[in-house]
């Protein structure tokens, strides 16, 4: 009876006890965290959040949790007292991964039990809200191992899914497999599509990050997936990596206890390798089972998360600038800068926490001061001074201006 979901005969007496147990269980789960640089905590999910994605127009943040919902938050509310969110229900399943489409009119999710991709269309209502409708058919099941990452090219030409074996699949938006990549990295720990939409990259048990170009013809027809370049230099497995907003920089973090910043703006067709720009120490990565990484859009700041703590580094000098400890009640599941680079978002328990990116403002101050010394004409000087003042004002308002 119990297995079929029917109450057993003893139910009436134990109902109250069960309710009390439930209340007792739920109370300690809300993790409290305060910090002077905490900009906001987004709380609406009743389950742990596993993934988030900022829309390319900068207006929305999507989060998915094991409470069978996807929530869409408005980024303009981040600094308000109230954080409104719109809810999309995932029928009879929950989403583990979520990504916005480039036109921000749809999002895709990976289903935990269905083991497949589902597409949700977002239709604007007259009252300004959205109606979310799942398309009639989910993608066919092709992966043999659990899927760890998904992505959509900003060009709108393909979707990428990667599983924990060595498989990365490239799909058309209609759900046809265009290409199967074997990463030969023993297992995949992370995979991503570059912001420019040309590349797909993966890392895993081997000490490198492999990057492929997904090639299309003049008329937009798929041609092939070709090896582009590799990031070589770590001496142990790579936990994770990220691209800068213009895809010209990449960062990686490895079990060898280091992070590296790379210049990937190279002519790889002429066999030119990426340049290593900086190596920094991150001892926590050596013993961690999982380590998350986010690179600010301008590649000036690197955020690294292990367990439930976040560390922010200045990539130019390689110095650690901020450290947030015990941010979530669980391990940090996802880490991401918003597209302006003003905020860093993290998730793991039921809340998304947003931090002010003070190292980003400091990097702008340093850069503008350097450029001002070399500025040759007045209009350039004025523009640089304006940016410098803005960054200094931002730091001042956060009480983070270095004397």
Q: Is residue 1 over pLDDT 80?
A: no
- Chain-wide mean pLDDT for the chain? 89
Count other C-beta atoms under 10 Å from residue 360's C-beta. 26
The pLDDT of residue 169: 96
Task: Report in angstroms the alpha-carbon separations of 318 from 30, 144, 304, 345.
Answer: 35, 40, 13, 21
Percent of the chain with pLDDT over 90: 68
pTM of the model: 0.87
Task: Report in angstroms the alpha-carbon separations of 100 from 53, 55, 163, 293.
Answer: 7, 6, 20, 20
Q: Is residue 5 over pLDDT 50?
A: no
Pairing relationship of beta strands 309-314 and 301-306 according to DSSP bridges: antiparallel
Determine the Cα–Cα distance for residues 11 and 221; give it in Å rounded to an integer. Answer: 62
Q: Is residue 20 over pLDDT 60?
A: no
The string of pLDDT tens digits covering residues 370-402 is 888 888 888 888 888 988 898 888 888 888 766
Domain residue ranges of the chain, discontinuous segments joined by +: 38-355, 357-402
Region 316-339 average pLDDT: 92
The pLDDT of residue 29: 56
| Contact criterion met (CB below 8 Å) for 114 and 93 | yes
Region 148-161 average pLDDT: 95
Task: Report in angstroms the alpha-carbon separations of 258 from 207, 283, 399.
Answer: 12, 7, 30
Work out the angle at residue 39's Cα, subtended by the Cα atoms of residues 38 and 43, and round it to the nearest 5 degrees: 95
The pLDDT of residue 6: 44
| Three-class DSSP category at 66 | coil
| Contact criterion met (CB below 8 Å) for 323 and 39 | no
The pLDDT of residue 19: 53
Quickly name the fold that domain 38-355 has. Methylamine Dehydrogenase; Chain H (2.130.10)
The pLDDT of residue 31: 75
Using 50, 70 and 90 to split pLDDT, how confident is the model at 354?
Answer: very high
The pLDDT of residue 24: 47
The string of pLDDT tens digits covering residues 62-105 is 999 999 999 999 999 999 988 889 999 999 899 999 999 999 99
End-to-end CA distance of the chain, in Å?
70
The pLDDT of residue 69: 95
Count other C-beta atoms under 10 Å from residue 198's C-beta. 19
Q: Is residue 11 over pLDDT 60?
A: no
Strand partners, 243: 250
Q: DSSP class of residue 269?
A: G
The pLDDT of residue 35: 87
The string of pLDDT tens digits covering residues 30-71 is 778 888 899 999 999 999 999 999 999 999 999 999 999 999
The pLDDT of residue 17: 54
The pLDDT of residue 21: 52
In a 10 Å sphere around its CB, with 0-12 CB exposed, 13-18 middle and 19+ buried, how is residue 311 labelled? Answer: buried
The pLDDT of residue 127: 85
Strand partners, 203: 190, 209
């Amino acid at each position: 009876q119990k297995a079929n979901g029917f109450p057993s005969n003893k139910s009436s007496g134990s109902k109250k006890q069960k309710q009390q147990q439930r209340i007792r269980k739920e109370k300690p789960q809300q993790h409290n965290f305060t910090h002077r640089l905490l900009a906001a905590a987004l709380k609406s999910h009743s389950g742990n959040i596993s993934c988030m994605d900022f829309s390319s127009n900068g207006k929305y943040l999507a989060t998915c949790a094991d409470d069978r919902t996807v929530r869409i938050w408005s980024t303009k509310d981040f600094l308000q007292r109230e954080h409104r969110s719109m809810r999309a229900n995932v029928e009879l399943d929950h989403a583990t991964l979520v990504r916005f489409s480039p036109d921000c009119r749809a999002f895709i999710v990976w289903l935990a039990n269905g083991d497949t991709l589902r597409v949700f269309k977002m239709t604007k209502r007259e009252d300004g809200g959205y109606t979310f409708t799942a398309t009639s058919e989910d993608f066919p099941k092709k992966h043999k191992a659990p899927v760890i990452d998904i992505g959509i090219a900003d060009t709108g030409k393909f979707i990428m899914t990667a599983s924990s074996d060595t498989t990365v699949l490239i799909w058309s938006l209609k759900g046809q497999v265009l290409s199967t990549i074997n990463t030969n990295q023993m297992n995949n720990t992370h995979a991503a599509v570059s912001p420019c939409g040309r590349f797909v990259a993966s890392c895993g048990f081997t000490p490198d990050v492999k990057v492929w170009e997904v090639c299309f013809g003049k008329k937009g027809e798929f041609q092939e997936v070709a090896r582009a370049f590799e990031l070589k230099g770590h001496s142990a497995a790579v936990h994770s990596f990220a691209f800068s907003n213009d895809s010209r920089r990449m960062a990686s973090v490895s079990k060898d206890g280091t992070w590296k910043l790379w210049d990937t703006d190279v002519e790889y067709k002429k066999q030119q390798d990426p340049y290593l720009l900086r190596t920094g120490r991150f001892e926590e990565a050596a013993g961690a089972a999982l380590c998350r990484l986010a690179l600010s859009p301008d590649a000036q700041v690197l955020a690294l998360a292990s367990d439930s703590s976040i560390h922010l580094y200045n990539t130019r000098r390689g110095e650690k600038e901020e450290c947030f400890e015990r941010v979530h009640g669980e391990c940090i599941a996802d880490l991401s800068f918003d597209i302006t680079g003003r905020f860093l978002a993290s998730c793991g328990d039921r809340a998304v926490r947003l931090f002010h990116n003070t190292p980003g403002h400091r990097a702008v101050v340093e850069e503008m001061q350097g450029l001002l010394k070399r500025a040759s004409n007045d209009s350039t000087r004025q523009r640089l001074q304006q940016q410098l003042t803005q960054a200094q004002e931002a730091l001042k308002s956060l009480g983070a201006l270095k004397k």
